[in-house]
Amino acid sequence: MLAQEPTRALAASLEAARAAEDVHALAESSRCYDAALELWDAVDPAARPVGSDLSTILERAAVCRSLGFGDASGSVRLLERALAELPDDAPPLRRADLLSRLADATWDATAEAESIALWAHVGGFAAGLALVPIFKRREQPLFAAGRPK
């Protein structure tokens, strides 16, 4: 994203993200956080909005990504980065909260992958059922009693 005034664009992106969260428009909020994250490094630290820290922005972006788009894997990546950006002197409860969110997101991402595999198997089974009448021999009953000759 190219912004002519990155400082104002960052502030506007964060404000829009929070406003979208307030009305539960989490997909839109996620997009706004993505824009803010793209702008973050382009803005001088002294000019960044007061009270904004990268770790918190990444955490909120992860929550919105997961709930707004159902993207657990994207949420895991954002939470891992949020943990990495957390200062060494951060309160232990803050670190524990991020670790807990990361564990939940990782579980969701794993379940998401397993769900895809499950539905792939179900789809294959359904396709097989649909093809049985086409490929079975006419003289062979579908469920023959006894042994085939």
Q: What percent of the chain stands above pLDDT 70?
A: 87
* Residue range 6-108, CATH number: 1.25.40
How confident is the model at residue 1, as a pLDDT? 47
List phi, psi (to 5°) of 9.
-65, -40
Tens of pLDDT, residue by residue over 82-110, are: 999 999 999 999 999 999 999 989 988 88
Query: Domain segments of the chain: what residues?
Result: 6-108
Tens of pLDDT, residue by residue over 54-69, are: 999 999 999 999 999 8
Take residue 123 and report the two structure tokens written for it.
């789809």
Q: Is the pLDDT of residue 119 over 60?
A: yes
How confident is the model at residue 76, as a pLDDT? 95
Assess contact for 105 and 77: CB atoms under 8 A.
Answer: no
The DSSP 8-state label assigned to residue 43 in this structure reads S
Task: Report the alpha-carbon distance of residue 102 to residue 80 in Å, rounded.
Answer: 7
